[in-house]
């Protein structure tokens, strides 16, 4: 009997950012390409027929950072404390408010800023829960939090906490799952410290993108917190460990590129290159076959491999799709909503979705 | 005339510069100005075009037309490269129009085919795959017609702007022409894939691979991986001869990759590791080949209770004898890889394993052994430390190889030992595996272990049935195997519980069948447990009844589930009807006075 298990469907949240000040003045209300109908439906003013999308949660322009955090991340942080792995993806085109949603206003490194985003709030909440647990259990329970921060660019892995290193590899451990071999792990003792490490890595990402000619909109960044708890019950020591992954996906404008490539032919070019894409064609042919007894030589992408567990397993996963409501962004918004819709519906094929 | 001559040299020079700009320089263009070199190339081409029309009066009309067609072609490609599709189309159309009357002549045919290739690409970019298909298929037809009617190495389009002494050799001409046609086939493979004409797409992939080999246009490692992947397509279609051919070719070409020192020669450790990984990947394809061949043979040979059917075996052996004479013919139909040298190595490689269904234990064992060797080879790279998922998948395949081999074994004791081998390889891995990160694999292992114990228990019962009386050793063995099977089925069922340890009200579709089968088998196992204690026996029957009832109730509540477990449900219904009476009888025996 062959069977596959892909776990709970991914929860999908959409957030609509307010139009930037300049555009609001010139475009007026007619300049918006969508309207939020309820807390889980959105209407896109497409022609000839408007399109209705339904998600787990839709945050309109007025929704506060606090309420986004409560509906999206709170639950995931809680289950992380209960030993489940959790992953939050941020998705959207450049300028759709991804960074604002996840980090907060870009001009402040201030962890206590009233507009801080999902990530700092998750840190606070995580450490709040840890403190509460510790108080409840006294000396019987102890916690160890560690974090790592990596970037995937061009199928290569870079350590954002150690800018000197380059080209790390993914490996698997029978007890610990997938990990980045050699990635720096920093011990965390408070939410503020976590935020500090995150901003430091974020800065490294920017530096790398200018000095090493990497385009940050084409890279995925993965910040991982490992929460380990140790509980002594008489003589028995109970150790639990879970991961919280915060993922900033490459800009969706790149996603669109690869999407359209789905239909057009791959060119061989005139240069003396072999037809390297033939492999993709053949892989697609094999994929169609339903038999389980086959092996495909070409691997998952690095990102899907790293987050294997989050994309179908016993992990809690959500995507925050950020969209810009301006009519100029219509195409981008449509493709983001389509992506989010697919992520919601095709739970068995989620891996494909991220194989960028 | 001399002036014209030097003028011509300048034209050629301009043309050459444009081509270099387009093909070489453009790759270095900054991200902010991605088409800088393409635009410069375009300007040069326009100049050449003007120079050409200035010279128009004196020249020979046909020659001029062809030269202009070359320019239209270059401009067409240039415009499509810079995302100006309509302009590109116009140029390419003009090119084909100019060449139309001469398209079968040696100085035009290559250019014409390349123009059609590019029109195919252009239309695919407009998402009009059908239109792309017509251009590419007509390019294919033209190639075939030319090769039939003429066949001499035709001129390369670039030669139209070359001085006489620079012209290419026949060998080089032929190489470039064949390459253009390989591209046609490669694009067609993609077109057919997009149109979901899978078989045709596979055929074109196959032919493209073959031509890459013939004209030395390939990287060995990449080629080998492609061929190995293609073998997996044939596997899914049960075309074992083709599958084996692809794999044999993959192995042969891959072995060349190791011998040829790489271009840079300073191979990093990473490259070495990549190479070892690729080798292991090809080994894994071979494992699947052996496994599929054995499993398909099993399907052909088994009777309705899953045992080897001797009548069917004889029938198939007779049929094979008849077919052996026709085998040679079948061989020739398939697309074969490689020219003489490579072909010989590929054939030698093929001889190491059969491609026809094994019909008895001896034949099955030979295939099994080949598969097992590849298991060892694959494991050398995919060690559990670092490659958990891959490693376990290989072990699962190894276990599956033993399982199917056991089918061909007549001796029950030996068959039981084969299953014990499966247990020995699966159990320690399962014990170490963390289900938090490997839930799916962990469930698969639980289920497979349960099934293996179940199968062993059945075999022990069959062995016991041949004895006059069950000895206490056999009884103990049967009971312990049954208990172990129950343990692993229960572990699997427990893994479906939610964090609060509650079994789901409704099962997810992907675990529905395994969960129901687990329940059903547990019910049967409780029925098989042997005990002389009647009270204990009654308890076991009660438990058995509960599990059977679960199936019946569940299917009543969710009629959609019936499809997944038809046979099991039927038997469960029967047992739910029978068991209470049996239990009543047993109870009566226990307390005869009530």
* pLDDT tens digits, one per residue of A136-148: 888 888 999 999 9
Q: For residue A58, give how far its alpha carbon lies from the nearest alpha carbon of chain B (Å).
A: 27
Residue B187: pLDDT band by 50, 70, 90 thresholds?
Answer: very high
Name all contacts of A256-260 with Cβ < 8 Å and 24+ positions apart: A256/A331, A256/A332, A256/A335, A258/A356, A259/A335
Mean pLDDT of A26-48: 78
Asked if pLDDT for residue B53 goes beyond 70, the answer is yes
Contact criterion met (CB < 8 Å) for B436 and A265: no
Closest CA to B571 of B546, B552, B543: B552
In-domain check, residue B350? no
Closest CA to A81 of A246, A232, A228: A228
CB-based burial, A200-226: b 16+ in 10 Å, e otherwise? bbbebbeebbeeeebebebbbbbbbbb
pLDDT, averaged across chain B: 90
pLDDT, averaged across chain A: 80
Contact criterion met (CB < 8 Å) for A6 and B510: yes
Give the C-alpha separation, A67 to A74, whole Å.
10
Mean pLDDT of B249-278: 77
Give the C-alpha separation, B243 to B246, whole Å.
5
Residues of B in contact with A85 (CB under 8 A): 436-437
The confidence score (pLDDT) of residue B555 equals 96
> By the CB < 8 Å criterion, does A237 face chain B?
no
> By the CB < 8 Å criterion, does A270 face chain B?
yes
Closest CA to B132 of B217, B214, B198, B190: B190
The confidence score (pLDDT) of residue A223 equals 94
Asked if pLDDT for residue A209 goes beyond 90, the answer is no
Contact criterion met (CB < 8 Å) for B517 and A1: yes
pLDDT of A4-32, one tens digit each? 444 456 888 999 998 876 555 454 445 77
pLDDT of A108-118, one tens digit each? 666 778 888 99
Q: Is A325 helix (H, G, I), strand (E, B) or coil?
A: coil
Asked if pLDDT for residue B263 goes beyond 70, the answer is no
The confidence score (pLDDT) of residue B51 equals 83
User: What are A157's two structure tokens?
Assistant: 């892995």
Mean pLDDT of A37-61: 89
User: Sign of the CA dihedral B102, B108, B113, B118?
Assistant: negative
In-domain check, residue B52? yes
> By the CB < 8 Å criterion, does B359 face chain A?
no
- The least confident of A8-12, B50-54, B195-199, B250-254 is A8-12
Of the candidates B201, B295, B444, the beta carbon closest to that of A285 is on B201
The confidence score (pLDDT) of residue B156 equals 94
Are A295 and B232 in contact, with CB atoms under 8 Å apart? yes
Q: For residue B96, give how far its alpha carbon lies from the nearest alpha carbon of chain A (Å).
A: 19
Q: For residue B297, give how far its alpha carbon lies from the nearest alpha carbon of chain A (Å).
A: 14
Mean pLDDT of B119-140: 93
- Chain A's closest residue to B448, CA to CA, is A1
Q: Which of B236, B269, B302 is the last residue of a domain?
A: B236
Asked if pLDDT for residue A291 goes beyond 80, the answer is no
Closest CA to A354 of A151, A342, A100, A214: A342
The confidence score (pLDDT) of residue A353 equals 47
Which residues 6+ apart lie within 8 Å of B282 measured at CB?
Answer: A297, B224, B225, B228, B247, B250, B251, B254
Contact criterion met (CB < 8 Å) for B447 and A1: yes
Closest CA to B442 of A30, A354, A5, A59: A5
In-domain check, residue B99? yes
In-domain check, residue B119? yes
Asked if pLDDT for residue B119 goes beyond 90, the answer is yes
> By the CB < 8 Å criterion, does A177 face chain B?
yes
Q: Is the peptide bond before B475 cis (omega within 30 degrees of 0)?
A: no
Asked if pLDDT for residue B458 goes beyond 70, the answer is yes
Closest CA to B387 of B241, B518, B277: B277
Residues of A in contact with B291 (CB under 8 A): 293
Contact criterion met (CB < 8 Å) for A172 and B386: yes
Closest CA to B334 of B352, B348, B322, B347: B347
The confidence score (pLDDT) of residue B2 equals 42
Residues of A in contact with B202 (CB under 8 A): 282, 285
Q: Hey, which of A280-294, B212-226, B575-589 has the most confident mean pLDDT?
A: B575-589
Contact criterion met (CB < 8 Å) for B288 and A293: yes
Give the C-alpha separation, A287 to B118, whole Å.
28
Of the candidates A174, A265, A279, the beta carbon closest to that of B225 is on A279
Supply the range of the domain harboring residue B78. Answer: 2-236
Residue A348: pLDDT band by 50, 70, 90 thresholds?
Answer: very low
- The least confident of B66-75, B87-96, B340-349 is B340-349
> By the CB < 8 Å criterion, does B511 face chain A?
yes
Counting the structural domains of chain B, the total is: 2
In-domain check, residue B575? yes
CB-based burial, B35-55: b 16+ in 10 Å, e otherwise? bebbebbbebbeebbeebeee
pLDDT of A300-340, one tens digit each? 788 888 887 777 666 788 889 999 888 888 888 888 888 88
Residue B327: pLDDT band by 50, 70, 90 thresholds?
Answer: low
In-domain check, residue B223? yes
The confidence score (pLDDT) of residue B416 equals 96
Residues of B in contact with A347 (CB under 8 A): none
Mean pLDDT of B100-129: 92
Of the candidates A83, A265, A297, the beta carbon closest to that of B124 is on A265
User: Sign of the CA dihedral B216, B217, B220, B223?
Assistant: negative
Mean pLDDT of B128-141: 95
Are B260 and B218 in contact, with CB atoms under 8 Å apart? no
The confidence score (pLDDT) of residue A260 equals 42
Read off the pTM. 0.88
Q: Which of B172, B206, B236 is the last residue of a domain?
A: B236
Of the candidates B278, B287, B434, the beta carbon closest to that of A174 is on B434
Asked if pLDDT for residue B373 goes beyond 90, the answer is yes
Q: For residue B440, give how far its alpha carbon lies from the nearest alpha carbon of chain A (Å).
A: 6
Here the ipTM equals: 0.84
In-domain check, residue B434? no
Residues of A in contact with B88 (CB under 8 A): none
Q: Which of B201, B236, B271 is the last residue of a domain?
A: B236
Q: Which of A297, A316, A350 to mutate to test the interface with B (most CBs of B within 10 A)?
A: A297
Of the candidates B202, B229, B387, the beta carbon closest to that of A279 is on B229
Contact criterion met (CB < 8 Å) for A3 and B513: yes
Residue B482: pLDDT band by 50, 70, 90 thresholds?
Answer: very high
Mean pLDDT of A59-72: 93
The confidence score (pLDDT) of residue A292 equals 62
Residue A345: pLDDT band by 50, 70, 90 thresholds?
Answer: low
> By the CB < 8 Å criterion, does B282 face chain A?
yes
CATH code, domain carrying B22: 1.25.40.10
Asked if pLDDT for residue A233 goes beyond 70, the answer is yes
Of the candidates A215, A264, A295, the beta carbon closest to that of B232 is on A295
Q: Which of B437, B440, B567 to mutate to test the interface with A (most CBs of A within 10 A)?
A: B437
- The least confident of A46-55, A299-308, B148-157, B570-579 is A299-308
The confidence score (pLDDT) of residue A349 equals 42
> By the CB < 8 Å criterion, does A95 face chain B?
no
Mean pLDDT of B399-405: 97
In-domain check, residue B523? yes
> By the CB < 8 Å criterion, does A210 face chain B?
no
Contact criterion met (CB < 8 Å) for B229 and A286: yes
Of the candidates A177, A279, A298, the beta carbon closest to that of B434 is on A177
> By the CB < 8 Å criterion, does A286 face chain B?
yes
Closest CA to B516 of B565, B483, B559: B565
Asked if pLDDT for residue B333 goes beyond 80, the answer is no
Phi, psi dihedral angles at A125 (to 5 degrees): -65, -40
Read out DSSP for B446-479? HHHHHHHHHHHHHHHHHHHHHSSS--HHHHHHHH
């Amino acid at each position: 009997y062959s069977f596959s298990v892909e776990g709970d469907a991914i929860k999908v949240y959409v957030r609509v950012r307010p139009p930037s000040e300049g555009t609001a003045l010139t475009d007026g209300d007619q300049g918006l390409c969508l309207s939020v109908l309820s807390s889980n439906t959105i209407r896109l003013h497409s022609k000839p027929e408007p399109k209705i999308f339904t998600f787990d949660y839709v945050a309109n322009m007025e929704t506060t950072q606090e309420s986004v955090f409560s509906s999206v991340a709170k639950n995931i942080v809680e289950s992380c404390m209960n030993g489940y792995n959790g992953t939050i993806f941020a998705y959207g085109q450049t300028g759709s408010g991804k960074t604002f949603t996840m980090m907060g206003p870009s001009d402040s490194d201030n962890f206590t800023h009233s507009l801080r985003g999902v990530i700092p709030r998750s840190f606070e909440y995580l450490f709040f829960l840890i403190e509460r647990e510790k108080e409840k259990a006294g000396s019987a329970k102890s916690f160890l939090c560690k974090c790592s921060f990596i970037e995937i660019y061009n199928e290569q892995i870079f350590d954002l906490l150690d800018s000197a290193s380059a080209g790390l590899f993914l490996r698997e451990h029978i007890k610990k799952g997938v990990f980045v071999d050699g990635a720096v792990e920093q011990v965390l003792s408070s939410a503020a410290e976590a935020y500090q490490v995150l901003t430091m890595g974020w800065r490294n990402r920017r530096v790398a993108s200018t000095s090493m000619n990497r385009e940050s909109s084409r890279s995925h960044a993965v910040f991982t917190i490992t929460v380990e708890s140790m509980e002594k019950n008489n003589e028995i020591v109970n150790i639990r460990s879970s991961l919280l992954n915060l993922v900033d996906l490459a800009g969706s404008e790149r996603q669109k590129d690869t999407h359209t490539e789905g239909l057009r032919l791959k060119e061989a070019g005139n240069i003396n290159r072999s037809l390297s894409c033939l492999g993709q064609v053949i892989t697609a042919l094999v994929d169609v076959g339903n038999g389980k007894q086959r092996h495909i030589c070409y691997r998952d992408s690095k990102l899907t491999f790293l987050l294997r567990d989050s994309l179908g397993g016993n992990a809690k996963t959500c995507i925050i799709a950020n969209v810009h409501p301006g009519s100029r962004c219509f195409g981008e918004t449509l493709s983001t909503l389509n992506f989010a819709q697919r992520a919601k519906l095709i739970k068995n094929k989620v891996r494909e979705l991220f194989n960028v | 005339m001399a002036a014209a001559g030097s003028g011509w040299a300048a034209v050629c020079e301009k043309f050459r510069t444009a081509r270099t700009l387009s093909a070489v320089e453009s790759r270095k263009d900054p991200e902010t100005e991605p088409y800088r070199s393409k635009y410069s190339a375009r300007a040069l081409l326009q100049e050449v075009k003007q120079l050409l029309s200035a010279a128009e009066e004196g020249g020979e009309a046909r020659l001029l037309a062809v030269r202009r067609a070359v320019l239209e072609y270059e401009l067409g490609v240039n415009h499509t490269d810079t995302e100006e599709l309509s302009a590109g189309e116009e140029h390419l159309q003009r090119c084909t129009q100019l060449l139309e009357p001469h398209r079968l002549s040696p100085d035009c045919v290559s250019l014409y085919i390349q123009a059609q290739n590019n029109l195919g690409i252009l239309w695919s970019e407009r998402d009009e795959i059908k239109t792309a298909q017509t251009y590419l298929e007509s390019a294919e037809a033209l190639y075939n017609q030319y090769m039939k009617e003429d066949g001499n190495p035709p001129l390369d389009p670039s030669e139209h702007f070359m001085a006489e002494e620079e012209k290419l050799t026949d060998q080089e001409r032929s190489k470039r022409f064949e390459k253009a046609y390989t591209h046609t086939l490669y694009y067609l493979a993609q077109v057919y894939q997009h149109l979901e004409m899978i078989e045709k797409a596979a055929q074109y992939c196959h032919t493209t691979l073959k031509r890459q080999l013939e004209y030395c246009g390939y990287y060995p490692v990449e080629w080998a991986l492609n061929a190995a992947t293609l073998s997996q397509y044939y596997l899914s279609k049960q075309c074992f001869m083709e599958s084996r051919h692809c794999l044999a070719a993959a192995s042969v070409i891959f072995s060349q990759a190791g011998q040829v020192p790489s271009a840079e020669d300073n191979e990093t450790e990473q490259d070495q590791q990549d190479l070892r990984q690729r080798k292991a990947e090809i080994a894994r394809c071979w494992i699947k080949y052996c496994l599929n061949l054995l499993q398909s043979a099993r399907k052909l040979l088994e009777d309705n209770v899953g045992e080897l059917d001797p009548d069917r075996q004889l029938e198939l052996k007779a049929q094979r004898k008849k077919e052996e004479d026709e085998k040679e013919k079948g061989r020739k139909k398939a697309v074969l890889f490689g020219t003489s040298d490579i072909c010989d190595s590929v054939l030698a490689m093929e001889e190491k394993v059969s491609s026809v269904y094994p019909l008895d234990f001896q034949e099955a064992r030979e295939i099994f052994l080949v598969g097992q060797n590849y298991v060892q080879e694959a494991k050398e790279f995919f060690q559990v430390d670092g490659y958990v998922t891959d490693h376990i998948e290989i072990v699962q395949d190894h276990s599956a190889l033993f399982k199917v081999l056991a089918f061909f074994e007549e001796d029950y004791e030996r068959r039981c030992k084969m299953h014990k081998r499966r247990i020995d390889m699966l159990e320690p891995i399962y014990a170490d595996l963390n289900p938090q990160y490997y839930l799916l694999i962990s469930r698969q292992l639980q289920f497979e272990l349960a099934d293996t114990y179940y199968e062993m228990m059945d075999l022990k019962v069959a062995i016991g049935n041949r004895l006059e009386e069950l000895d206490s050793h056999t009884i103990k063995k049967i009971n312990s195997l049954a208990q172990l099977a129950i343990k692993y089925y229960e572990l699997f069922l427990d893994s479906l519980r939610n964090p609060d340890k509650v079994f789901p009200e409704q099962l997810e579709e992907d675990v529905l069948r395994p969960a129901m089968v687990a329940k059903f088998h547990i019910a049967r196992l409780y029925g098989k447990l042997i005990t002389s204690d009647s009270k204990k026996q009654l308890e076991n029957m009660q438990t058995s009844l509960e599990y059977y009832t679960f199936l019946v109730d569940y299917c009543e509540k969710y009629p959609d589930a019936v499809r997944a477990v038809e046979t099991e449900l039927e038997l469960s219904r029967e047992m739910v009807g029978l068991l209470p009476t049996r239990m009543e009888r047993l109870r009566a025996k226990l307390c005869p006075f009530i």
